[in-house]
């Protein structure tokens, strides 16, 4: 469900919690936390390590306790090594980039290819920001020239301008786990699309018991991709009746949550950090509302 601003203000306890890997369950007391353990978190933030700081800082402004638990990590894809050769030897009307990680991997290959002149279409403000330093440089060999009206891949596929009436070539560097809606949508419109799977995601498998116990106790888990969502469900698969809320960064991840059978789902109509924070706050407001007494 999308968030709503109609509910009253939420006033949770102050402070932010971050997991400390060195802490363990208290010896001799299985299942009980040591006296020095921090309070339970309000929300679990799950992006890969090093990419949760902005969300944590935004939640701190609302006095939300955050537990950082990276659920996925990015690794090279089968076409990583091909990217620079393709950019060096071929010309494209558009490069379509749909995530910050895809942007970072593309920039590495683009620089290795000698920084050829390219025109880029991006999905989302976070993705666009990865290109800021390069696109604002003096040589202007990389131009961020298009962003769709809504930060979704299928909208990009429907709105990308044709710069050539005869043949318009598009390079789509993507995660190996990304769907096919962009390449299929563009192909249906007559674009010539080359997809390169330049990276992929794998779940983080080593989670210490204390951190996992705290994460499961949180009323909200925040996820930014279907891969992170699947990794979370795998972690909690051995827990009976886990039914807390999921706050998704956007509609794509929320749709995946619905397909996986989750019910308490919150997401913004426009993907991005601000809307994501509002969705988390909405989930917490609903969680904190007084529960109705059972009817006799």
8 A C-beta contact, residue 155 and residue 149? yes
Mean pLDDT of the chain: 84
Pick the CATH number of 43-71+208-287 from 1.10.3720.10, 3.40.50.300, 3.40.50.10090, 3.40.50.620: 3.40.50.10090
Q: Please count the CA atoms within 13 angstroms of the CA of 138 that sit on its side-chain side.
A: 0
pLDDT at 125: 84
pLDDT at 292: 56
The closest of 284, 278, 282, 283 to 58, measured between CA atoms, is: 278
| Higher pLDDT among residues 18 and 227, named by residue | 227
Residue 150, both tokens: 């809504």
What is the mean predicted confidence (pLDDT) over 1-19?
A: 36
Pick the CATH number of 75-202 from 3.20.20.70, 3.10.450.50, 3.40.50.300, 3.40.50.10090: 3.40.50.10090
pLDDT at 152: 87
| Higher pLDDT among residues 53 and 126, named by residue | 53
- Give ∠ CA 215-242-200 in degrees, rounded to 5: 60
Q: Three-state SS across the chain?
A: CECCCCCCCCCCCCCCCCCCCCCCCCCCCCCCCCCCCCCCCCEEECCCCCCCHHHHHHHHCCCCCEEECCCEEEEECCCCCHHHHHHHHCCCCEEEECCHHHHHHHHHHHHHCCCCCEEEEECCHHHHHHCHHHHCCCCCCEEEEECCCCCCHHHHHHHCCCCCCCCCEEEEEEECCCCCHHHHHHHHCCCEEEEEEEEEEEECCCCCHHHHHHHHHCCEEEECCHHHHHHHHHHHHHCCCCCCEEEECCHHHHHHHHHCCCCCEEECCCCCHHHHHHHHHHHHHHHHCCCCCCCC
Residue 115, both tokens: 């920084």
What is the pTM assigned to this prediction?
0.72
Q: Write down the domain spans for the chain.
A: 43-71+208-287, 75-202
pLDDT over 90 (residue 277):
yes
Rounded CA-CA distance 52/26 in Å is 28
Domains 43-71+208-287 and 75-202 share a fold: yes
pLDDT at 253: 92
8 A C-beta contact, residue 77 and residue 202? no
Rounded CA-CA distance 262/243 in Å is 8
pLDDT tens column, 72-108: 999 999 999 999 999 999 999 999 999 889 999 999 9
The closest of 153, 158, 157 to 175, measured between CA atoms, is: 153
pLDDT tens column, 11-63: 333 333 333 332 222 223 333 444 456 678 999 999 998 889 999 999 999 99
Q: Return the CA Rg of the chain.
A: 21
pLDDT tens column, 157-195: 999 998 766 789 999 999 998 889 999 999 999 999 999
Task: Choose the weakest-confidence range: 88-97, 118-127, 277-286.
Answer: 118-127
Rounded CA-CA distance 23/21 in Å is 6
What is the mean predicted confidence (pLDDT) over 219-225?
A: 95
């Amino acid at each position: 469900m999308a968030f709503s601003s109609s509910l009253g203000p939420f006033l949770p306890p102050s402070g932010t919690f971050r997991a400390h890997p060195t802490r363990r369950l208290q010896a001799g007391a299985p299942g009980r936390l040591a006296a020095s353990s921090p309070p339970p978190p309000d929300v679990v933030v799950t992006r890969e390590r090093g990419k949760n700081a902005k969300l944590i800082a935004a939640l701190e402004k609302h006095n939300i306790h955050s537990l950082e638990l990276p659920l996925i990590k990015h690794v090279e894809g089968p076409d990583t090594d091909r990217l620079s050769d393709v950019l060096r030897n071929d010309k494209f009307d558009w490069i379509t980039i749909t995530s910050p990680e895809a942007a970072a991997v593309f920039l590495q290959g683009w620089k290795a290819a000698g920084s050829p002149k390219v025109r880029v279409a991006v999905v989302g403000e976070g993705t666009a920001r990865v290109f800021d330093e390069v696109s604002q440089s003096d040589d202007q060999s990389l131009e961020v020239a298009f962003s769709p009206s809504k930060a979704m891949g299928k909208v990009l596929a429907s709105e990308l301008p044709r710069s050539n009436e005869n043949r318009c070539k598009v390079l789509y560097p993507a995660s190996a786990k990304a769907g096919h809606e962009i390449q299929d949508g563009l192909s249906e419109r007559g674009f010539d699309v080359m997809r390169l799977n330049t990276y992929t995601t794998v779940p983080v498998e080593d989670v210490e018991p204390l951190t996992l116990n705290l994460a499961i106790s949180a009323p909200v888990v925040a996820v930014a991709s279907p891969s992170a969502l699947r990794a979370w469900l795998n972690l909690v698969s051995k827990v009976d009746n886990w039914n807390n809320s999921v706050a998704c960064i956007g509609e794509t991840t929320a749709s995946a949550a619905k397909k996986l059978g989750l019910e308490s789902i919150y997401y913004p109509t426009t993907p991005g950090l601000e809307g994501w924070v509002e969705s988390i706050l909405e989930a917490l407001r609903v969680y904190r509302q007084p529960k109705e007494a059972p009817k006799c």
